């Protein structure tokens, strides 16, 4: 059963079609329902720049169930204790902010069962393409999620 629309989203992107998104910063989940009704392919629930709580994110994700809109959550920071509870919400993907280095990427995706799989990356020279592919593969196969990193400057 597809509850987070990840398959619909990735299918659209892989076919070369444009996936339309909406960034949501209001804590009222009816905004997510409206976004889905408006035809958006995915909703970026921004916990970094809004007063979202874990409960608010869960309510938005529940509001998107049964629609064609995939829920992505941008977490507040690339830290295990922040990301892991978000992953448990059955969303389509996690967006990790402020990724500047390979260590930042590792910090963002070394959650739970992924920690031992990242051991081989510790001493490698940074290869963004390989690391991003590895990150996406982990989330797709292990938890059926996508991991997106946002590279940002101060």
User: Is residue 1 one of the residues assigned to a domain?
Assistant: no
CATH assignment at residue 23: 3.20.20.60
Ramachandran angles phi, psi of 93, nearest 5°: -165, 160
**49 belongs to the catalytic site:** yes
User: Is residue 126 one of the residues assigned to a domain?
Assistant: yes
User: Is residue 109 one of the residues assigned to a domain?
Assistant: yes
Encode pLDDT of 17-32 as tens digits.
888 999 999 999 999 9
How many domains is the chain built from?
1
Task: Name the residue range of residue 95's domain.
Answer: 6-151
Residue 152: exposed, middle, or buried by beta-carbon count in 10 A (0-12, 13-18, 19+)?
Answer: exposed
Does the pTM surpass 0.75? The reply is: no
Encode pLDDT of 93-121 as tens digits.
888 887 777 666 666 555 433 433 444 44
Selected catalytic residue, list 49, 60, 80, 123: 49
């Amino acid at each position: 059963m597809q509850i987070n629309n990840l398959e619909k989203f990735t299918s659209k992107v892989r076919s070369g079609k444009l996936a339309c998104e909406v960034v949501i910063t209001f804590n009222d989940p009816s905004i997510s329902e409206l976004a889905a009704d408006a035809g958006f392919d995915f909703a970026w629930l921004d916990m970094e720049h809004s007063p979202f709580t874990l409960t608010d994110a869960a309510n938005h994700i529940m509001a998107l169930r049964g629609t064609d809109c995939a829920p992505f959550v941008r977490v507040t920071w690339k830290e295990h204790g922040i990301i892991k509870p978000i992953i448990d919400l059955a969303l389509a993907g996690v967006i990790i902010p402020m990724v500047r280095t390979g260590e930042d990427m590792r910090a963002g995706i070394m959650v739970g069962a992924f920690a031992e799989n990242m051991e081989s990356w510790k001493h490698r020279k940074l290869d963004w393409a390989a690391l991003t592919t590895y990150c996406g593969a982990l989330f797709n196969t292990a938890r059926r999620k996508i991991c997106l990193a946002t590279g940002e400057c101060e």
